[in-house]
Structure 1
């Protein structure tokens, strides 16, 4: 006495995930980031000196302190505001960063037209804040 219900085969549910919409979204995001990444410029617009040197390897995100051609100081802490900051405030902020993570590299971006005295004063302030090594950022020379 088998009824008509036993003759039909039941379909087994598929447990696979359809990844095609996920791939479409990821490709769109990839294209958006590829277009917008070159447009993002963090920090202050500084004309760096052209010097050939070996690049250094960073273990952590560096703190970048900038000096523009007018002699104003800026610090890049990951936020987007570009307000000039006093030299004493730079020292206080760098002390807080170095005490939290002593291996944080500190780099100086100095404009080509900034005076030597401004760069040396900044480096002295950074050393007074407990930074053992201060790096200088430069652009590679253009091949003409």
Structure 2
């Protein structure tokens, strides 16, 4: 408890207050808060609506011009300005980059293109050995 007995020889006992802090209730409260945050954090993260086509990040400046791949609303794939098929995309990329896997490749996609189609294009490029593949987005306020 919060007191210690001080005994005298006369049979009367007094309790003296101890100067120690009882941390058990504090630990209990902290554990409950930890559990509450562990349960609610995934719910908060998964309910966030995102608008992926816009971003305010600036493109990295580099001397070489990156290769740009565009996927239009109909799902057609364009390498620079010429249309290519997904099956021949990697071979054409390797030819343009002179087999340099460190060449920067930017992938642009229309807002109406499905996420799966964009993922398939990016997966094809990375499986072809290209390591610097990035999605391009429209800066906020541009083209609205």
Partners of 2:123 and 2:117 in 1: CA distance: 10
Kindly state the Cα deviation for residue 99 of structure 1 after the two structures are TM-superposed: 4.4
RMSD: 2.3
Matched, 1:67 2:71: yes
| Equivalent residue pairs, number | 92
Superposed CA offset, 1:42-91 (max 9, x none)? xxxxxx92222232122311110100111111101xxxxx4532101111
How far apart, in 1, do the equivalents of 2:73 and 2:88 lie?
A: 20
Q: What is the alpha-carbon distance in structure 1 between the residues aligned to residue 85 and residue 91 of structure 2?
A: 10
Q: What does 1:22-61 correspond to in 2, within 5 Å? A: 49-61=53-65
Structure with higher Rg: it is: 2
Q: Secondary structure at the match of 1:135?
A: strand
Q: Which residue of 2 aligns with 1:140?
A: 139
Normalised by the length of structure 2, the TM-score is: 0.56
Structure 2: runs of 5 or more not aligned: 1-51
Distance 1:51 1:125, change over 3 A: same
Q: Which runs of 4+ in 1 moved over 3 A?
A: 97-103
Per-residue Cα deviation, 1:1-56 (whole angstroms, up to 9, x for no partner): xxxxxxxxxxxxxxxxxxxxxxxxxxxxxxxxxxxxxxxxxxxxxxx922222321
Q: Normalization by structure 1: what TM-score?
A: 0.56
